[in-house]
A and B are shown apart, each in its own frame.
Chain A
Amino acid sequence: MTTRITIRQIYADLRLIFSQAMRLSRLELLQRYKRSVLGIWWSLLNPIISVGVYYLIFSEIILIQGFSKKEYLIYLVAGVVVINFSLQTITTIAEGFSVRVNVITRLKVNPYTIAHGTLGASVFNFLMTLLPFFILLFFDRGISPRLLLLFPLICAMMYFFFGIGLLLAIAYTLFDDAKAITRLVFSFMPFFTPVFYKIEQLPQALQHWITASPFTNFLILFRWSIGEPQTLQITMFLNLVLSLVLSSICLKYFHIKWDRIVKVL
């Protein structure tokens, strides 16, 4: 017997997934900031403090070349916002399963529902941090039509982080030190991504490596979308497609491994 999948059914399923993700994200945010004095505003303050510290170090002490102070501030904020979103989303999705081990081993749950909730909470935090940034941009250069490209770009980023996060979730479950290793690697990531500097300022050999990173690619496309003078190359779009393919492979691998994860948990 074959089951016909109708468009109405797909729409209903997507609506349910979206609604569940939204509700779970709300609870995730509530839980995350419940014991914090500033509550949800901490997600806004955190990047502002980071940007302030980096700005002081790189514009006043190390003196990064090729920018005016205002240009550098916008360049830096874009970098910090994107790299924070990238690393936090991947880490929280990966940790989501070990944090919820008690639920996973007691109830039949859909692992993707858990991950969607975590992803939704991270996206909410990201949008919170984008708000003051866009106000800054609006007063500096007005609204660029390129901003419309941010929507597909953020969707692509979400898909990529989702896949990588789930892949890391497998590692976190199987290996006790995977979390510590990831934290170490991720602490260097802002320095291996052009968050504070321009990629052209690096030696040629290093440029190839840094450009190959999906994080760099997302960051360059993000900066281009907000109207920064970035040079786009065809390889960037190839890199983007490759990232999405890689994420799909990760998702498939997670799907195969999920049963084992539950048993190890």
Chain B
Amino acid sequence: MKRQLLIELRGVSLDLPAHELRNKSLKSLVLSKIKGDLVPKPARRILSNIDLKIIRGESLSVIGKNGSGKSSLLRVLSDIYSPSAGILIGGASRMPLIELDGAFNGELTVLENIDFLSILLGIPYKRILPIKQSVLEFSELQTFAFQPMRTLSTGMKARFAFAFATSIESELIFIDESLSVGDSQFSKKATARIRELKRKGVTLVLVTHDLTLARRFTSKCLWLENGSKRLYGSTKLVIEKYKTF
């Protein structure tokens, strides 16, 4: 069977604006321009010259220390950030689960939040009802369907986020440290769902510090260090090297 390429990164680099810019005020900008001491802040390089191929049905884990650029890579792969250099090829439908529990609207109810996120993802109205049923059933939040999101516990929100992300039909799913959500019973359920998605041919990209999880779910592994590719290969091999590092 021909191996179908879903996403390819060729020499991708990502620069983010220097943090100081966020605190920049219009007043200080004008004053600096008048005084002539306006020094443009250099951008921070988050990812540097990454080459990566994601094949349909394969699963990939991304490991590395905090601040190594794992989540930023996920954002590039999810098309949230566009690369500052290099190219990203591939138009597969993608569903990122990047700290999704932070994306909810606290004032809206659980059901309204499903509506809200579905609209933003461009899901047609007709397809939302089955998603609602699936999310409520899987997250076991049926009795909280009409409660405002802000009244839910952190664990409940995480369960909802996982259920939502895995209820949307997509070819690729990106997961950022969220498999260990909720209690052990839910964790088992989440693991089973990931297996089911993999059986259906959904490609999984997992960003994690949990090496056991990476070994259990993925066949390929990318080790990032300071935004650069340190090693890429079979999960077993990369994890062995990572452990001895």
Residues of A within 8 A of B (CB): 16, 19-20, 23-24, 27, 30-31, 34-35, 102-110, 113-114, 117, 171, 174-178, 181, 259-260, 262-264
Q: In the complex, which of the residues B16, B105, B117, B119 has the most CB atoms of chain A within 10 Å of its own CB atom?
A: B119
Neighbouring B residues of A31 by C-beta, 8 Å: 105, 107-108
Query: Smallest CB-CB separation from B78: which chain A residue?
Result: A108
Q: Tell whether, in the assembled complex, residue B120 and residue A263 are in contact, meaning their CB atoms are under 8 Å apart.
A: no
Q: Tell whether, in the assembled complex, residue B119 and residue A24 are in contact, meaning their CB atoms are under 8 Å apart.
A: yes
B39 at the interface (CB under 8 A from A): no
Query: Smallest CB-CB separation from A33: which chain B residue?
Result: B107
B5 at the interface (CB under 8 A from A): no
Query: Smallest CB-CB separation from B27: which chain A residue?
Result: A177
Query: Smallest CB-CB separation from B161: which chain A residue?
Result: A106
Residue in B112, B122, B148 whose beta carbon sits within 8 Å of that of A113 in the complex: B122
Q: Tell whether, in the assembled complex, residue A27 and residue B25 are in contact, meaning their CB atoms are under 8 Å apart.
A: no
Neighbouring B residues of A27 by C-beta, 8 Å: 105, 108, 112, 115-116, 119
Interface secondary structure of A, over-half rule: helix
- Given A171-B26, A260-B17: A106 and B80 within 8 A (CB)? yes
Q: Tell whether, in the assembled complex, residue B103 and residue A106 are in contact, meaning their CB atoms are under 8 Å apart.
A: yes
- Given A108-B79, A113-B120: A263 and B23 within 8 A (CB)? no
B100 at the interface (CB under 8 A from A): yes
Please count how many residues in chain B sit with their CB below 8 Å of the partner chain's CB atoms: 38
Q: Tell whether, in the assembled complex, residue A113 and residue B107 are in contact, meaning their CB atoms are under 8 Å apart.
A: no
- Given A113-B119, A260-B17: A108 and B94 within 8 A (CB)? yes
B125 at the interface (CB under 8 A from A): yes
Q: Taking the nearest CB of chain A, how far is it from the CB of B104, in angstroms?
A: 8
Which 8 residue pairs across A and B have the least CB separation, nearest first? Answer: A175-B26, A177-B25, A103-B103, A109-B120, A106-B103, A102-B102, A31-B107, A108-B79
Neighbouring B residues of A110 by C-beta, 8 Å: 120, 122
Neighbouring A residues of B116 by C-beta, 8 Å: 24, 27
Interface string of B63-90 (1 = CB under 8 A from A): 0000000000001001111100000000
Q: Tell whether, in the assembled complex, residue A259 and residue B82 are in contact, meaning their CB atoms are under 8 Å apart.
A: yes
Q: Tell whether, in the assembled complex, residue B80 and residue A108 are in contact, meaning their CB atoms are under 8 Å apart.
A: yes
Neighbouring A residues of B21 by C-beta, 8 Å: 174, 264
Q: Taking the nearest CB of chain A, how far is it from the CB of B118, in angstroms?
A: 9
Neighbouring A residues of B112 by C-beta, 8 Å: 27, 30
